Amino acid sequence: MATIVNTTEEEPMLAVVRSTAELAWADAGAEVADPEVARLCAEAQQHVLAARWLDMANLMLANADLLLLAPRLSDKDLECVLTVICNLVTKAGSEDEALEIAKLICAKLTHQPGEKPTLRIKVLFSLYNLLPSLSGKALVYRKALELAAAAGKAAADCVVPTFKNIDAFVAYWGIGKPEQRDLFLAVTRILKDQKGMTKEYFKFLNKYLATFDGSADEADAIGAAKEEAAAAIIEFVKSSDLYQCDLLDMPAVAQLEKDEKYQPVYELLKIFLTLRLDSYLAFQTANSSLLQGYGLVHEECITKMRLMSLLDLSGHCSGEIPYSAITKALEINDDEVEYWIVKAISSKILDCKVDQLNQLVIVSRHTARVFGMPQWQSLRSKLGVWRGNIANAINTIQANKVTEDGGQGMQGLMIR
């Protein structure tokens, strides 16, 4: 195979064409191969002279599959060849032409993703950096995610570190809701099978579901989100760290209430966010096989539901919860109350003091299971009260200061 030596601006491209042509015709014999290789090289020269970069990309990529599958070609040499091809986007006469070239490269690199997937993703990221247009960058990143999802864990490990910058990417690219939706869905499909990434998986499921506003023109798209909506509910119920979510307010989740398959899942979410332990126990009795099918452990659900019930009590009390109310709601004995209070405090969902003498729990702060419009209005009201209290305190301080200064002045006059 020919070696690429960068002696002129065009020579690397011609060397790639010659190398891929020789590889493609290697088994045909010199009499057949040599004329074909010469023809392809001549065609490449014509494209370069005429600055037909899209045609050049088609020619260079014609045998790219052979390069990607060639056992005698090292990863370093293959990356070099693919980088030369990617560099065509910098020569394109317009952003549209560069985008078309990028699409051709992406199509080749995402074909047969199981072969050298990490190298393919690396080349796609190089292509991303070379592209001038933001829409082109968004396209290439999306293709890298598709490749990672299809190729498995090794490839996924290459893209997962970039997920922390997704919000910045979306703002930078300026993409619309449909494109954001596709992006977030691609991320969830990668994170779904990643160990130790359940929080991130739930986060991006929420981002995906939040892109639906329930408008009539989204009817088909929102209907396709039922599986992800159910998955988000199950992840919330499973998690021992999540005690608040906005899923009930999302149209993509609300549609499950009338869905024959997922209605019980929606009911389960409603129980965890609005009801107490007794409702969950009744649901579990009627739907034990459903819970097992989704991998939910009954004992873990009881633990979480007891904490959720404690939060519900905190939200409906006037700052004080009697032990008797806790034992009834959590279905526990009197001597277990303080254990569950400590558990809630350690989970950072409750701040309180325990009055053992009067058997009261005095709540100073609790996590709201649902933080929707009523909670925002309540917060606004509290902030208004606090603002008024601070203003009154400032006025009192200023009035006292004026009185104090006046007294000192009178004393000075008397001394003189």
Contact assessment for residue 214 and residue 251, using Cβ atoms and an 8 Å cutoff: yes
Strand order in the sheet with 350-355: 320-322, 360-366, 350-355
Average pLDDT over residues 337-357: 97
Contact assessment for residue 338 and residue 320, using Cβ atoms and an 8 Å cutoff: no
Where do we find the tokens 């404690």? Answer: 310
Is it the case that residue 65 has pLDDT exceeding 80? no
Residue 324's pLDDT is what?
97
> What digits encode the pLDDT tens for the residues 186-198?
999 999 989 899 9
Burial 189-216 (b: 16+ CB within 10 A, else e): bbbbeeeebbebbbbbbbbbbbbbeeee
Residue 412's pLDDT is what?
53
Q: How many CA atoms lie within 13 A of 177 on its CB side?
A: 11
212 versus 26: the higher-pLDDT residue is 212
Asked if residue 90 is part of any domain, the answer here is yes
Asked if residue 51 is part of any domain, the answer here is yes
Is it the case that residue 24 has pLDDT exceeding 80? no
* Strands 360-366, 320-322: pairing kind: antiparallel
Asked if residue 233 is part of any domain, the answer here is no
3-state SS assignment for residue 229: helix
Is it the case that residue 326 has pLDDT exceeding 70? yes
Residue 196 CA, chain-centre distance (Å), reads 14
The least confident of 14-23, 53-62, 252-261, 315-324 is 14-23
Asked if residue 92 is part of any domain, the answer here is yes
Asked if residue 53 is part of any domain, the answer here is yes
Q: Which of 104, 92, 170 is nearest to 137 (CA)?
A: 170
The least confident of 27-41, 97-111, 194-208 is 27-41
Is it the case that residue 276 has pLDDT exceeding 80? yes
Is it the case that residue 354 has pLDDT exceeding 90? yes
Asked if residue 46 is part of any domain, the answer here is yes
Q: Which of 109, 172, 87 is nearest to 138 (CA)?
A: 172
How far, in Å, CA of 254 to CA of 258, rounded?
8
Asked if residue 104 is part of any domain, the answer here is yes
Average pLDDT over residues 217-225: 91
Asked if residue 94 is part of any domain, the answer here is yes
Residue 413's pLDDT is what?
47
- Tell me the DSSP string of 283-307: HHHH-HHHHHHTT--HHHHHHHHHH
Residue 286's pLDDT is what?
97
> Which value, in Å, is the radius of gyration of the alpha carbons in the chain?
32
Q: What band does 416 get if pLDDT is binned at 50, 70 and 90?
A: very low
Q: What band does 374 get if pLDDT is binned at 50, 70 and 90?
A: low
Is it the case that residue 373 has pLDDT exceeding 80? no
Is it the case that residue 405 has pLDDT exceeding 60? yes
Residue 239's pLDDT is what?
96
Residue 55 amino acid letter = D
How far, in Å, CA of 104 to CA of 139, rounded?
12
Is it the case that residue 125 has pLDDT exceeding 70? yes
Domain count, the chain: 1
φ, ψ (nearest 5 deg) of residue 404: -65, -45
Average pLDDT over residues 171-187: 96
Q: What band does 372 get if pLDDT is binned at 50, 70 and 90?
A: low
Model pTM greater than 0.75? yes
Task: Provide, rounded to the nearest whole percent, the portion of the chain with pLDDT above 70.
Answer: 91
How far, in Å, CA of 364 to CA of 314, rounded?
9
Q: How many CA atoms lie within 13 A of 33 on its CB side?
A: 13
Query: Which residue range forms the structural domain that includes residue 46?
Result: 12-24+42-68+76-111+140-151
Q: Which of 21, 25, 23, 17 is nearest to 60 (CA)?
A: 17
> What's the chain's average pLDDT?
89
Q: Which of 237, 186, 235, 234 is nearest to 211 (CA)?
A: 186
